[in-house]
Amino acid sequence: VKAKAPARDNEEGGGERERARFDRLDSGAKLLSTPPTTQHPPTVGIHRATVIMAASRDVELNDLNGGGGGAANNGTEGGEYVTVFTSGKETGFGDLNDDDEYILDDQDEDLGLLDWDQYARIRSRRCCGLNCPDCASLAPLWWYKLSKTRRRQLAVVLPSLAFVLLLTVIVSFTFNGGGPGGDNGGGGGGGKGENALCGWNAYVLPDTFKPMHYDVELDVDWRDPYTVSGLVKAHFAEPGGDKGLTRCLVLHAGANLAVGDIEIHTVDNALAREKSRRYVEDTEQLIIEFQEPIDPGRLHHISLTYSYPLAEAMRGFYRSNYKDSQGQEHMLASTQMEAADARRAFPCFDQPDMKANFDMTIRVTRDARDVDNGDDNFQVLFNTPLKDGGYSRRQLQGGAILDEYVFEVTPTMSTYLMAWVIGDLVAQTSYVDGGRVKVSVWGTPEHANDLSDALESCVKILPAYEKLFGIAFPLKKLDLVAIPSFEAGAMENWGLITYRESSLLVSAEDASDGDVMWATTTVAHELAHMWFGNLVTMEWWNDLFLNEGFAEYIQYIGTSVAKPQYGADKLFPILTLQNALVADSFSASHPLHVPYEETLSGIEIDGLFDTITYDKGASVIRMLRSYMSQGQSIESDHLLSVDPFVTGLRSYLSEYKYENAKSAEFWSAMAKNSPPVDGVDLIESMRQWISRPNYPLVSLAWKPGTDLSALTLSQVPFLRTGTHTETCSDADPDSKWWIPFTYITKEGQGGSEEGVRSGILDTCAGAEISIASREDYVMVNPGQSGFYRVNYPQEMWARLGAGVKSGELSSVDTSMLLDDAYALVEAGELEVGTLLDLALAGSQRTVAATGLSSANLTSDYQAWYDVAYVFNSLVAKLEGSGSGSSCHDAMETFVGERVSAAIADYGLVASLGRTGGRQIEGSFQHRLLMGSLFSLGVRYGDAGVSNLAQQSFANGVAVHPNLRYSVFKATAKSGNTGYGQVLTKYAEAIDADEKEKLMLALGAVDTEPLIQRALALVMTPAIESMDVRAFVARVAGASELGRAMAWTFLQENFEPLYAKVNGGTDVQSSRLAGLVSRVCSGFSDDARLEELQVFYDKYSKWIPVKTFHKIEESIRTNKAWLAKNEAAVCEWVQQN
C-alpha cells in the first residue's frame, strides 16, 4: 500500500516540521528490450495436494514474569521478549516451540545464523531491558571453594529439585485454570490435546489447517439498502507432520459479517457436523467446534455462507458515493484488504503466510431501469480476467437484472492481495510485449481524458522492471483503477491495482508538476510490489519493509524510466531520506525487522505502515546498493544496471516466488549470490541497520598534531534528545554501525561526482580524512547516499557555508547540510547561530541560469526546500513559545526579506507577468522551485506575489497549477467572503488534484473565526472520511492558534472522528493516532503533556504506545529547544 503523499501528510514529523515541510512543497516513449519469457504461475485445483510448510516464523517466549504476551505486552512492562529462530519441526500450534527446542545444531546452518534476533541471542542475554552476564559468572565465591566432586553432585541435585518445584507449579496452575492460557499472541490455545483449538485466544491462527484454494461466490445487490451475501469454500492442504485429533477449527471473519450455514467436508465425501461456534471479537476469529474430534488430514474443505451490508467503510468490500459535474450521485464499490480486512469481505484464513489461489464468481443484481443496453459503462473487475464465456445475464422477476462474472483462477497469493471493483468505469488500454500483458487504466466516465499519463508511465515501467528483476510479470492483464473514496494512496492488489483518484488521474489543465510526479511515483511504487510483496511476500508483518521499503526505493527507478526529465534520483534525499531521519531519531522508534511479539494486534500491525518501514527501508536499501555498486547506482544512468545488488535481488525473487520469505532469507540470498565487496561480511554488516532502531551520528574532529590538515571520524547513536546518553564501544556490537561513507573536498574537484572518495567506519573511531590546505573543506555523504547524520568542527561548518553561498556545493548537498544542522541543533550538538548562518547562505546562493533550461535537470529546488524548512520551523517555534517570543515578528520579517530577495533574483513576478501566471519557464525541478518561492511569497507577504495571487482568483484567471494552492490559500485567509468563495469552488470541483488543493487551502487559515469555520466542516459530508486526517492536520499546522483549536476539537470529538475515518468503532486502526501526533507534536509546555496523558489513558486502545511516547518526546524536546535557543535566535536576528 502506498501512503498518501508522505511529504504532504507525514504522520511522523508532527509539529512545526509538518508545517514547514508542507509549505516548502507547494510547487506545484520507447519500450526496453523484450523481457524474459512468461513464467506461468503454478495453479492448484480443488483436489488434494501436499504442501510442506516450514515452521520458520519468529516465535515469542513468555515475558520474565511468566505471563502471556502478545498485544497486551509491548516490551515496556514485565520484562523483554526474546525472539528466536525456530527449528524446522512443526508443532501444530502456530509454531509454539518451547525455548528448550532452540538448539543451534538443529538449524539449517546457512539460514539459521542469518536471523538477527538469533544473533543477539547467541551473543548475550537480556533481562529487564539490561544486558545480563552469563549465568556462570553469577555463582558466589563459596561455590568455587567446594571440591569439584561436591560441585558435580550439587550440579545434578539442584536442577532436579528446581525441576520438581517447577513441575508442581505447572500442575497447580493447570488444574486451577491459571498459567499462560491467556492471549500469548504467538499462538496459544485454551486447552490441551484435541480441545486445544477450541479455546484459541491468540492473534495468530494455528497452523493445524492451511488453505491451498478458495472458491468464492459473491452476490451483490446493487439496490438500496445495498447488501452482500455469498459462499466461500476453503480447500485444505495436506498438513505436515502428525497434528493429532482436534475438535475445532479457527479462521477469520470480520465483525461486520453474519456467518450462516457451515459445512465441513472430509476427503471421503462425508460431513463433519458442527456442534457449536464461538466468535472472538478481539481477534476477529470464528472458532467452529465439531461433533466429534477429527484428524486434520481428513478435512477436505469447509464451506460457509455469509452476508453483510455494503457500507462506506473504506475497509474490506465497501462502497463509494460520488457526484458528477451535474451534481448527480453515483456509486462505485471496491476493496481494501491490507493489512487484515479480507476477513471483512469473506471468511478466510487472513494471514500473509497462508497463501492460496482463488476462483471468484461475482453476481450483481441491478434494477432493469438502471441498465442502459446502448451505452452501459458498468464494469466488474477482479485480479484476473474473465474466463472464456465467463459472463452471463438473466432477467429476474420483479424487473431486476442479474449479471454473473466468472474469473480465471489467481496465482498463489495472500488474502490481502484479493480485489474487485464494481461500478461505472471507462478505460484507456495498451499492451506490453506484443500483447502478452494487457494494461488498462480505469476511471469514472467524467475522467476519461485523465487516464493517458498513467497508462504511458505503466507501459514503460512494467517491462523495465521485468528486465531489471529477470522475471516476467506473470498475469495476462494489469488494471489500474482510480477510486473516488480511497484511504491510502494506492494498493498493490495483484493484477488490479487500486488508487486514490489524485494518485492516478492527471488532468492536463489542473495537475501541477508535483501532482504528475506523485501519480508517476505511485504507479512505479505499486508496480514494484508485483514482485516485492506479491510474487514474494513477507512471512509476517514484522518484515513489512521487505514489501514497502523495496517498493519505495524502486519507485525512483521506475519514475526515472517513465520521466527521465524529472531527475528523480536527485529528489530522493528530500522526499524520502530526510523524512526517515526525522522519524527514526526518536527513542521510541522501531527497527526495520520488528520483533514478532510486537506485531500481534491489528493496532500494532496498522502502525507499521509508517515512515520507518517505507522511507528508512528505502534509504537503507539505497545505501547498500550504492556501496555495492561503488556509488554508481544513485545516479540515473546506472539505476537499471545489473550490479551485485541486483544479482542478489534476482536470486531472492527467483528462489521464493509464489512463497513467503523472512528478512533472514533475503539476506541469505544477497550474501550467496552477490560477489563479495572488499571482503565485507554483508550479513553481519547490515544486521544493525535492520535489527535495531535509530542510526549513527558521524562526527569529524581535527586530528591532534596535524596542524588542521587531517580529521578523524567517530560514531555514536543519534537521538533528537541528544547523544549525551549514548555511547559507542567496540566491545559492544550493538552500540555501533558498519558505515560505508563517502566524502568530497574542495581541492578534490569540489562538489563534482568524479571527486567522490569512500571509506568504511566500522569501529567507534579511527577512520581519517586528509585535506590539502587550511582553506580546504571536506563534506561527508555527498548526494546523501548514506543513512546517517554528520557533524563538523566549527571552522569546517563556516567553510561549508561559503561553499553553499557560492553555489560550489550542489543543491542536494546544501539540502543535506541544512537538514543535518537543524537536527544537530535540536539534539544540542550544534549552536543555533551556525544553523542560521547556513540557512542565510542557502538563501543567498548564486542563481544558476542552467536551471532555466528545460534540457537541464538540476535547480536549487533541494536547497530551497531545506532553507524554507529551517526558516519556517524557527518562525513556528518562536510562535509556540508561551504567549509568543519577543522576536517572533522580527524573525518573520527577516525571513520575508530573504524570500523577497530570492523572488527578485529569479525574476519570478516578471516571468509570471508575461503569461498572466499561466506558464512557468524552465526545467521540471526549476518549475518546482518557482512554485515553492511563490508559496513562500504568499506566506511572508511579498507584495508582487501577493497581488498576483489575489488578482488571479478575483479575476478567475487559471494560473499555472504549481501556483494554485497558494492562490486558494491566500483567498481563503483573506476573510469570510474569500473563504466562502474557496468553499464554493471546492464543492463544485471534479478534478481530484484541484479538489485536494482547495480542501487543504480551507484548512490553512490562521484567525479564530476562520479556524472555527474550518473545523465545523470536519464532521459534515463536505470533508470526506479519507481527507479528515490531512484536513485537521492542515488546520493545526497553519498556526499555533490552529494547533490549539485542533487539539481541543480532537479531545471533544475523537470517538465520532474515529467512526467516520474507520467506518465504525468495531475495527482496530491506528489511522487517527497519526493525526494526534501531527497536532500535538508541536506543543512545548507541560500542561499539554498532562492533557495528552489523560487523552491517551482514555483512548489507548486506538493509539499505539510508541506513538504516544513519540509525542511526549517531541513536546519535551520543543520545550528544551526554546529554553536553550530562543535567546540566541533573537540575538542573531537583531545582528542580521
Give the E-state strand segments of 324-398 in sequence order: 329-336, 357-367, 378-382, 386-396
Cβ–Cβ < 8 Å for 713, 767: yes
**In which region does residue 470 sit, left (phi positive, over 0), alpha (psi from -120 to 50) or beta (all else)?**
left
**What is the rounded distance in angstroms from the CA atom of residue 294 to the CA atom of residue 135?**
45
Distances (CA, A) of 597 to 79, 184, 911, 929: 13, 9, 58, 45
Q: Break the chain down into helix, strand, coil percent, rounded to 5.
A: 45, 20, 35
Reply yes or no: is the peptide bond before residue 339 cis, omega within 30 of 0.
Answer: yes
Cβ–Cβ < 8 Å for 11, 1111: no
Cβ–Cβ < 8 Å for 386, 405: yes
**What is the rounded distance in angstroms from the CA atom of residue 158 to the CA atom of residue 139?**
13
**What is the rounded distance in angstroms from the CA atom of residue 346 to the CA atom of residue 444?**
26
For residue 225, the number of C-alpha atoms closer than 13 Å in the C-beta half-sphere is: 5
Interhelix angle 116-123/682-691, rounded to 10 degrees, is: 100
Q: Which residue has the cell 457449536?
A: 276
Distance separating the N- and C-terminal Cα atoms of the chain: 47
Burial class of residue 124, CB neighbours in 10 A (0-12, 13-18, 19+):
middle
3-state secondary structure of 323: strand
Interhelix angle 1040-1062/1008-1016, rounded to 10 degrees, is: 0
Q: Which residues fall within 8 angstroms of residue 1098, CB to CB, at 6 or more apart?
A: none
Active-site residues, by number, are 526
Side-by-side strand order, sheet with 739-745: 757-761, 739-745, 778-780
Reply yes or no: is the peptide bond before residue 133 cis, omega within 30 of 0.
Answer: no
Question: Which of 965, 500, 187 is closest to 525 using CA atoms?
Answer: 500
**What is the rounded distance in angstroms from the CA atom of residue 923 to the CA atom of residue 853?**
6
**What is the rounded distance in angstroms from the CA atom of residue 455 to the CA atom of residue 448?**
12
716 has which bridge partners? Answer: 697
> What residue spans of 103-147 are helical by DSSP H?
109-112, 116-123, 141-145
Q: Taking the alpha carbons of 1047, 1052, 1055, 1060 in that order, is the dihedral positive or negative? A: negative
Q: Which residues fall within 8 angstroms of residue 756, CB to CB, at 6 or more apart?
A: 631, 742, 743, 744, 782, 783
Q: Which residue has the cell 526546500?
A: 865
Instruction: Give the pairing of strands 357-367 and 400-407.
Output: antiparallel
**What is the rounded distance in angstroms from the CA atom of residue 536 to the CA atom of residue 539?**
9
DSSP 290-315: EEEEE-GGGEEEEEEEEEEE--S-SS
Q: Which residue has the cell 431501469?
A: 369
Question: Which of 888, 841, 895, 899 is closest to 1129 using CA atoms?
Answer: 888
Interhelix angle 1028-1038/1040-1062, rounded to 10 degrees, is: 170
